[in-house]
Amino acid sequence: MQTNNLLKSLRRKTAIVGCLTALSVAGCDQFLEPKPTDVLAPENFYRSAADAVSAVNAVYSQAVWVHFWIWYESDVATDDMFATANYGPDGHQLASYTFDPTLWSIDDLWTNAYITINKANIVLDRVPPIVMDVTERNRVLGEAHYLRALTYFELVRMFGDVPLMEQEATTVADAQIPRTPAAQVYALIVSDLQTAMNDLPASYTGADLGRATSGAATSLLAKVYLNQKDYNNAAKYAGQVMTSGRYSLNARWLDNFKISDEFVSPESIFEINYGAPEQTPGVVGSVQTLFSLPSGFPGGDAYGLMQVNPDLIAVYSANDQRGNGATYMTSPYVTALGDTATWGVPNGAAFHKWLDETDSKDMTARSWQQMPNNWIIQRYADVLLIYAEAVNAGGTSTSGSAEAALNQVRTRAGIPTVSGLGSAALTDSIRVERRREFAFEGQRWFDLSRWSLLDATFKAKTTLMQSLQPGETPVHGVPSNLFPIPVGQINSNAKLTQNPGW
Amino acid sequence: MQSASRKTLEESLPDNRASLAAAAIRLVLGALTAIMLLAVPSVAASQQSFVTRQTTYVVRFASAIDESDAPVLLRQPITLRLRNVTLERALQAIAARAGAPLSYSRAVVPLDRVVSIDVRQVSVLRAFYEVLNSVNVELWVSIDGHMALVPATAPPSEEATGTVAGRVTMAGSNEPLNDATVSVSGTRLRTATDNDGRYSIAGVPEGTRTIFVQRLGFGRDSATVVVRPNETVTADFALRPVAVSLSEVVTIGYGTQRRRDLTGAIASVTSDDIQRTPVVSVEQALQGRVAGVQVTGGSGQPGSSAAVRIRGGNSIAAGNDPLYVIDGVPVSASANNTNTYTLETVGVSGLNPLAALNPSDIESVEILKDASATAIYGARASNGVILITTKRGRSGANTVTVNAYHGTQAVRHRLSLLNAQQFAAYANAARVNGGQPALYTPAEIAALPNTNWQDEIFRSAPVTNVEASFSGGDNDTHYYVSGNLLRQDGIVLNTNMNRGSVRLNLDQDISSRFRVGNRFTLSRSQSQLMPNGGGGQEVSSVLLNALTAPPTLSVLGSGNEYFIGVNPATGRIFSNPVGAATLITNKEQQNRFVGNVFGEYDLFPKLTFRSSFGADYLSSMQDFYSPSTTYPGVTTGGSGSRGSLAVTTWLSENTLHYTPGQFGFLRAVDLLGGITLQRTNAANVSGTGQNFVTDALGQNGLNSAGTFIGVWTGAPHSSLASYFARANWNLLDRFLFTVTERVDGSSKFGTGNQYGFFPSAAIAWRMSDESFVRGLGLFDDLKLRASIGKTGNQDIGDYRALATLGSSTYLFNGVKVVGYSPNTLANPNLKWESTSQGNIGLDAALLRSRLLLTADVYNKTTRDLLLEVAVPATLGYSTQLQNIGSVRNRGVELSLNTVNTTGALGWTSGFNIAWNRNKVLSIGADSQIVGPVGVGAGAVQNPTILKVGQPINSFYGYVYSGMSNGQTTYADLNGDGVISTADQQIIGNAEPTYTGGFTNDLTFRNFDLSLFIQFSQGNKIYNITRALLTNDAGNNNQLTDVLPAQSAGANGIPVPKIGNTYDARPSTLFVEDGSYIRGKSLRLGYRLPASLLSSSRPGHLQNAEIYINATNFFTKTKYTGYDPEVSEYATSVLAQGIDFGTYPQTRQFIFGFTTAF
């Protein structure tokens, strides 16, 4: 009864308690709706030409991370180098092939590759409806096609079958898919590169210099076909690049690694651009230079993590301009600045390749993630050797003989040309040329894999390593020429299967 | 007068209880079982006959009446309509409704007068007033509920005064009690008893007065006396020793409750406790004081944050800090919310937000631990709630207090490092072992300087605090005004904190039904923090640099500048720790306003509407500048940055509070309902530049920096809308029930999941009110509590349920371009973390309340953990914030308060101890996440892991197995012949087995002595500092433990082949026992004798005490680092117990005084 009275009185006093009831649930929902004012949401982006360009820029800046550590797999895990005592366990495990599917660098590459692919997919999904200049839109889409193809190419070469994502992912369920057969992945890569080849300009000027070109797409297409052992197409597209007249070899081999010549050297086809954040805030610098320089090398950080395999040194003749002082150096070494560098780590030859002795940052202020040294995806010498390899393997020649292409590379390096070699001998010659030309440029592992020589090469390295560095015991070879699928990825997607042997 | 009446009511209970005990014994003798006793409807009904008459409440009808003071009896609602009846008839009707007998006399009351009354739902008192308002009588109410109408006394004249005198003794023994404080209500008169227990207060205005008496370790007492002009009235007191007063009022969320009525686990720390140890920030005052509250100082940096964990850590990604509510305003204590990432600090992310509050302004701190207590704060209560109530003025006692202290702090001990000769030999050996030439020739060694870098950066640092407060008021107005100035220098060169704060707390009664008030505090803190690595400036820690700096280098160069030439050991620029500490600006300034205004209106006598509007406004400026004369500025031509942040939180709360008292057969019914809205808006901007033309402007010259590095801006906001309700009631006078529920809606979660429902229920059984317990004669109070409930946690960043775009950069032909792309995957299903907690507790007072025991057992499980979960990277995202996994904490808490002696030497003790077991139950698909947070020197020496079945804050690494060929070797746990990541295991955790504290307070004549001991047992510390100081390859200074001669000892690493020992992996080598027991505080005070104080005259000294205090005055530990109270990443959830060049805790000695006028 008391309660009834109370309620009656309450009704009369609604003026006082009005502010309690005024807040309806609907009003509160509005109050709770998050309306970010300082971050963008996808719904209010992708509307203008500037948005489209910005979207594809984001793909490039993600590709930076795909190639930031790729030398862990493409070079440390090969017969070109050993890990020194300074190297962490990860380097040792790769160099001695004792790693397992938990290795972070494999997961890192996988993850960054798919982030790149998703960002490219976003461009391909969201840019077409944007009202903008058609040529510019085609260029943006072409760039996304090229970067997606490049990224899938890295993935399919490392892991074989990989899940194929062709559209932007928006929910976790989108990624719960099994591995797609490599052939299908290659089909997408080829179609992407065909599109890119047609839609991209042959060159850029000014502030666009460094974007993907049709030449980059064509060169990569040649390489993709070579990897698929489609020698006619490999020779065809490599020949197309050769006859385009757009590219030629640098007279001086070392100029390929000159920071001031990045993108403008006639040999450059496509590079991942790293910058010095101290000079251009916000950009990412690379680290391969200071990882590979010997411990205590003057001019800043030098980690001394890699030792050049004597077996690699042996492939250079004395007058090869890519040998001592170029690809590698031995202690003591006198720098362009006149300093004499001596080192105990590595206990032998160290890499020199990524040191640009004409660059003051490289020579006087090296530090972590501050290095402007680019990572080269393809340069013209690669196209010549692809052509040589394809033609020698039976591809129809479209731009001269295999030997002629090989000899261009040899001549520039200052070593004698070859002639009249049989197919098998020419094969060997091309293979060793690739090793001499591209050591520590992200090619070796994939070359050995393509030639099915990984396992044999690694067994040989094991023998050598056991004599040079007792205690490093390789426990497995290179099963199926492939890296393991990262264990974390299998854990988060039950449909992923592991590669055989891991 | 109001409190006087209540006090008397309570203090007379024991007498009832004794009589009741006798009755109960009779009942037991009558062979009634306990169960049958339970069925006896009400023992209380027979209480009246045992009670002596004692008047507790007097109301005069001449003036306006104040119902809020009235006893429950008079506040009962009645509805009455009588027309033209006699006054006697009206009085009888009212008395009948009140259910209490009324005595009156025809000589006093004009009973035949004809009156009319028409009231609806008004109090009994109001009804009496309606019919008696023109009659010159007073209504007296006795403790047993008898009412009487007596002739009104004449109003007191201003001049007419009398004297109150008497004696204070101990109940039972009749021993005199000296130094008991005696005061007169409504006046500022007070005195202290002499050695014979006697006191005398002259000049007491005539009239009915309540005399209060109190003494440490005894229950308060009061008596009502009638003072007549020029006469002396006697009031003697017999005080009973009690450990904790059950009538003490405890703040709970949105209200207060008497301790005896609590159903939840709530611990209190009072202003007395806080003042016994001078602390700079409130959480330090909680350390070791409360069972189940673990406070880890983290760092000795002035102004730094401490990690506060109530009953363990519940969350992995969403924060483990309790919710702090200052006078009803929830305050963010998360340092991350107040950081512009401009400072060069790791772990100490800027100033601790709680440092803005002056601890002396605090009246009490309540720690809400179980779900019953915390559920009223719903979605933010998972980690417990800390309610801070600041002081308010009291009627009639205008008091001025002035307190000040000054002291000095020092580092506890220094590490034993190599001296110059030892370092040179070590550096040479390293190089020779590595096949390189020696660094120093014997001749060079002989000429080397020998710098002790620890001596160079440590100092003895002063701390000074001055504060004053003014409080008082009259019947309608209460005020508390205070101001405080603190300057604390840090023990590392050039570190400090300054704080100034003012507070204004006002309470005003507009009418008998309408009250308004406010709580305002405004503070400004400013701190220079030790540059400590991290951030973009590449400043390594000053402390680490001091430890690793070669002793062979001098502080000053040839031109008396701080030496920054080439360090021959590394070949790089020397990062001079003294130069960095002295020259680098790394400071933060905070202005903070926390406050609210509120109004309360009694819609009906028992229904109160309260509306309050609160705000927390923080503006922070963080400055960094490294000049070109020290590293790293030397490499960049000066590096500077400034960040500015403003966070405004407003809060609107409206509650209805209904206290019908009796409601049908239920008693003490108390209902609360409310609605709150809260919004936080933040905005920050920071900018960084390099290459300054001059160092003279420092960071103020950013606009002229040669290289503009960048500017960062943000403006996040979040909202909360909540509804809550609580009901308390009492059944059969023995069973107390509390049911609480709260619905919280948060903008942080996905649509459809924004609202969370957080209910709790509790029951308490006051067993001491059962005859069978009373019959035991053992317990003065015995209460069994049980509660269960659910609370939440939403302490994640804003917009985490949405897909948002992030920006990145790339270079084309040397030109920077910006790319935008989605960087988070939307999760529309994101929702609250929820913690279910069950608690069973027991409160027992024994030995005539000289011993109070509280024990609690709890089990809580947090589910739907907010966690960055690895998703298939195939998506294009590597993680997504999801609700996944769970964590369990369970434990036991015990606290014991005792009154040991009560004679000339008064001695009370408090002891608490708590065991908590933390366990990760699941973290989604993974069974472990190695290195879930980036700590230590990046990839090396990161021992953190999150592993199912293990506690949060576990360490993970290799098991050291000895030395071989001068190299450290590790156990091959899986026996595969190779030391790989598979050979790592859990190598310890930072969770203590138990923690606690032990306080002892003694009084002897005018001396007070407080001793506070605090301990933590079983926790491990991962000592990265030690790793860096033992595993270097000849470039950095090391501990003397690396000397071959030392290596045989247990502390040394076994004979290393110097120069080839560098092995960075986390291992058992660097896991140390972090257990400690420490003398946290020792205080000796001397109160000036009452005879020296002119206490009875206004404006004169009433109370004065001088004291000395020692903090951290002894520490017993096996830990080899600076201090076992260490946590470099104090604000991190997953990386507690790590020492990484952490700013050490200090020992402090201070001298101070407190006075009251």
Q: Which residues of B touch A172 (CB under 8 A)?
A: 825, 871-872, 875, 880
* Pairwise CB contact (< 8 Å): B812 & A58: no
Nearest beta carbon to residue B871 from set A17, A175, A284: A175
- The rounded distance, in Å, linking the Cα atoms of B634 and B579 is 11
- The rounded distance, in Å, linking the Cα atoms of B913 and B906 is 24
pLDDT beneath 50, residues of chain A: 1-3, 6-26
Q: Residue B1010 — pLDDT band, cuts 50, 70, 90?
A: very high
Q: Is B511 on the interface with A (CB under 8 A)?
A: no
pLDDT given for residue B16 in this prediction: 42
Helix, strand, coil percentages, rounded to 5, for chain B: 15, 45, 35
- The rounded distance, in Å, linking the Cα atoms of B774 and B772 is 5
Which residue is closest to A86 within chain B, CA to CA?
B1062
Q: Is B808 on the interface with A (CB under 8 A)?
A: yes
Residue A1, amino acid: M
Window 95-124 of B: residues touching A by CB (8 A cutoff) are 120-121
- Chosen from B811, B825, B945, B1031 to mutate, greatest number of chain A CBs within 10 A: B811
* Pairwise CB contact (< 8 Å): A122 & B745: no
Give the pLDDT mean for B163-191.
78
pLDDT given for residue B868 in this prediction: 82
- The rounded distance, in Å, linking the Cα atoms of B634 and B637 is 6
* Pairwise CB contact (< 8 Å): B874 & A114: yes
* Pairwise CB contact (< 8 Å): B745 & A32: yes
pLDDT given for residue B81 in this prediction: 83
pLDDT given for residue B1100 in this prediction: 67
Q: Is B819 on the interface with A (CB under 8 A)?
A: yes
Q: Which residues of A touch B939 (CB under 8 A)?
A: 88
| pLDDT for B19 beyond 60 | no
Q: What is the pLDDT of residues A378-395, one digit of tens each?
A: 999 999 999 999 999 999
* Pairwise CB contact (< 8 Å): B745 & A38: no
Q: What is the pLDDT of residues B1012-1043, one digit of tens each?
A: 999 999 999 999 888 888 877 778 888 888 77
- The rounded distance, in Å, linking the Cα atoms of B859 and B583 is 51
| pLDDT for B664 beyond 70 | yes
Window 101-140 of A: residues touching B by CB (8 A cutoff) are 102, 107, 110-111, 114-115, 117-119, 121-122
Q: Residue B337 — pLDDT band, cuts 50, 70, 90?
A: low
- Chosen from A148, A172, A496 to mutate, greatest number of chain B CBs within 10 A: A172
Residue A161 · residue A180 · CB < 8 Å? yes
Give the pLDDT mean for B949-977.
85
Q: Is B746 on the interface with A (CB under 8 A)?
A: yes
* Pairwise CB contact (< 8 Å): A115 & B873: yes
pLDDT given for residue B247 in this prediction: 64
* Pairwise CB contact (< 8 Å): A263 & B819: no
Q: What DSSP letter does each residue of A62-101 carry, written as one string?
A: HHHHHTTSTHIIIIITSTTEEE-TTS-HHHHHHHTT---T
Q: Is B965 on the interface with A (CB under 8 A)?
A: no
- The rounded distance, in Å, linking the Cα atoms of A46 and A130 is 7
Q: At B103, list the tokens.
A: 């005595």
Q: How far is B1131 from chain A (nearest CA, A)?
A: 26
- The rounded distance, in Å, linking the Cα atoms of A296 and A366 is 12
pLDDT given for residue B917 in this prediction: 95
Q: Residue B435 — pLDDT band, cuts 50, 70, 90?
A: low
Q: Is B880 on the interface with A (CB under 8 A)?
A: yes
- The rounded distance, in Å, linking the Cα atoms of B438 and B1034 is 11
SS3 of residue B816 by DSSP = strand
Q: Is B449 on the interface with A (CB under 8 A)?
A: no
Residue B1137 · residue B990 · CB < 8 Å? yes
Which residue is closest to A123 within chain B, CA to CA?
B821
**What count of other Cβ atoms lies within 10 Å of the Cβ of residue A39?**
17
Q: Residue B434 — pLDDT band, cuts 50, 70, 90?
A: low
- The rounded distance, in Å, linking the Cα atoms of B182 and B1154 is 19
Residue B168 · residue B182 · CB < 8 Å? yes
* Pairwise CB contact (< 8 Å): B818 & A111: no
pLDDT given for residue A50 in this prediction: 95
- Using the structure block, give the residue that is written with the tokens 């004597």: A310
**What count of other Cβ atoms lies within 10 Å of the Cβ of residue B101?**
14
Output the CA–CA distances (angstroms, integers) from residue A19 to B596, B604, B652, B724, in the order listed: 18, 18, 11, 15
pLDDT given for residue B788 in this prediction: 95
Q: Is A339 on the interface with B (CB under 8 A)?
A: no
Q: What is the pLDDT of residues B929-953, one digit of tens each?
A: 888 777 765 445 788 899 999 999 9
Q: Residue B30 — pLDDT band, cuts 50, 70, 90?
A: very low
Q: How far is B566 from chain A (nearest CA, A)?
A: 12
Output the CA–CA distances (angstroms, integers) from residue B1076 to A287, B639, B1019, B1038, in the order listed: 44, 41, 9, 25
pLDDT given for residue A474 in this prediction: 62
Q: What is the pLDDT of residues B892-919, one digit of tens each?
A: 999 999 988 877 788 889 999 999 999 9
A-to-B residue pairs, Cβ atoms closer than 8 angstroms: 253
Q: How far is A237 from chain B (nearest CA, A)?
A: 26
Which residue is closest to A173 within chain B, CA to CA?
B875
Residue B36 · residue B127 · CB < 8 Å? no
pLDDT given for residue B238 in this prediction: 85
Instruction: Give ipTM to 2 decimals.
Output: 0.91
pLDDT given for residue A450 in this prediction: 94
SS3 of residue B70 by DSSP = coil
The CA-CA-CA angle for residues B265, B268, B269, to 5°, reads 150
Residue B617 · residue B654 · CB < 8 Å? no
Nearest beta carbon to residue B745 from set A28, A177, A281: A28
Helix axes A214-227, A231-243, angle to 10 degrees: 160
Range with lowest mean pLDDT among A224-228, B837-841, B1082-1086, B1128-1132: B1128-1132
Q: Which long-range contacts (CB under 8 A, 24 or more apart) does B216-219 make?
A: B216/B906, B216/B908, B216/B1001, B216/B1003, B216/B1008, B217/B241, B217/B242, B217/B243, B217/B899, B217/B902, B217/B906, B217/B907, B217/B908, B217/B1001, B217/B1003, B218/B170, B218/B177, B218/B180, B218/B242, B218/B899, B218/B902, B219/B11, B219/B245, B219/B849
Residue A318 φ/ψ, nearest 5 degrees? -60, -35
* Pairwise CB contact (< 8 Å): B803 & A42: yes
Q: Which residues of B touch A93 (CB under 8 A)?
A: 980
- The rounded distance, in Å, linking the Cα atoms of B565 and B557 is 8
Give Cβ neighbours of residue A187 (< 8 Å, ≥ 6 apart).
Answer: none
Which residue is closest to A27 within chain B, CA to CA?
B721
Range with lowest mean pLDDT among A281-295, B318-332, B1044-1058: B1044-1058
Query: Mean of the per-residue pLDDT values for chain B?
Result: 82
Window 395-454 of A: residues touching B by CB (8 A cutoff) are none
Residue B816 · residue A282 · CB < 8 Å? yes
pLDDT given for residue B4 in this prediction: 35
What is the value of pTM for the model shown?
Answer: 0.78
| pLDDT for B7 beyond 60 | no
Q: Which residues of B touch A170 (CB under 8 A)?
A: 803, 825-826
Q: How far is B98 from chain A (nearest CA, A)?
A: 15
